[in-house]
A = this chain, B = another copy of it.
Amino acid sequence: MRIAVLGTGMVGRALGTGLVRLGHEVRMGSRTAGNPVAAAWAEQLGPAASAGDFAAAAAFGEVIVNATAGHACLAALRAAGADRLAGKVLVDVSNPLYASGERWAGHSRSLAERIQRAFPEARVVKTLNTMSAAVMAEPSRVDGQHTVFLSGDDSRAKEVVAALLSDLGWTEESMIDLGGLGTARGTELLLPLGLDLWKALGTANFNFHVQRPESTPFFPVSYS
């Protein structure tokens, strides 16, 4: 599959690398063409990896992964172009990580919802935003069972994303479909706790697991 990864930070690079290793073609998008981080990343990974500006990446990708910084999301996606996002699955792994004074953004409405509202034809699925970049792309870095959440209004889009997650090593049992995109608010708000845990545990190789009865209905989500 041809996948665009928007953003050249740790999250974009970790996911991009993981997806290339799985056999996908990945184009990393950045604000301007010729971004040296994206170029170095692509060169290291060989012909399946490429780089371009946000628009070029979005044009290339059948699936778009938004791995840009929270404060830059909307501008990045506007640069990618609404027409190049229309009808495509947009995997939003961003977090509203921008402190304005002591305030975290994204409180009253999730970034994912704001993105969906700004780009009504994109099929936004929020996922993977509750763990470190390394764990996103390589869940086996954490022993035992742990959880990845999905939020989105488009069931078919969630199935596509679930298949990608499965490729990355996420088991069906590890996935929890929280429901509509409004539930992204809850996962986005995990960020402050995640940062505190990183500090307290001295490692980013941890993840949240939802411990619950085996018989719980509606779970695991069946993406067949």
Inter-chain CA distance A149–B206, complex, in Å, is: 15
Q: CB-CB < 8 A to A179: which residues of B?
A: 196, 199-200
In chain A, positions 173-224 with a C-beta closer than 8 Å to chain B are 176-179, 183, 185-187, 189-190, 192-197, 199-203, 205-213, 216-219
Interface residues on A, range: 35 or more
Please state if B197 and A176 are interface contacts (CB–CB under 8 Å).
Answer: yes
| Contacting residue for A195 out of B176, B186, B195, B205, CB 8 A | B186
Whether A192 touches B196, Cβ cut-off 8 Å, given contacts A109-B102, A142-B212, A202-B216, is no
Please state if A208 and B208 are interface contacts (CB–CB under 8 Å).
Answer: yes
Nearest chain B residue, comparing its CB with the CB of A176: B200
Is A46 located at the chain interface by the 8 A CB criterion? no
Q: CB-CB < 8 A to A186: which residues of B?
A: 192-196
Please state if B200 and A189 are interface contacts (CB–CB under 8 Å).
Answer: no
Is A146 located at the chain interface by the 8 A CB criterion? yes
Please state if A209 and B211 are interface contacts (CB–CB under 8 Å).
Answer: yes
Is A101 located at the chain interface by the 8 A CB criterion? yes
| Contacting residue for A211 out of B146, B149, B190, B195, CB 8 A | B146
Please state if B213 and A143 are interface contacts (CB–CB under 8 Å).
Answer: yes
| Contacting residue for A192 out of B189, B194, B218, CB 8 A | B189
Inter-chain CA distance A97–B110, complex, in Å, is: 17
Please state if B193 and A216 are interface contacts (CB–CB under 8 Å).
Answer: no
Please state if B189 and A203 are interface contacts (CB–CB under 8 Å).
Answer: no
Q: CB-CB < 8 A to A178: which residues of B?
A: 193, 196-197, 200
A-to-B contact residues, CB < 8 Å: 101-104, 107-109, 142-146, 149, 176-179, 183, 185-187, 189-190, 192-197, 199-203, 205-213, 216-219
Apart from A177-B200, A200-B218: 8 A-B pairs, beta carbons within 8 A: A101-B108, A144-B211, A186-B193, A189-B193, A203-B213, A206-B210, A206-B212, A209-B210
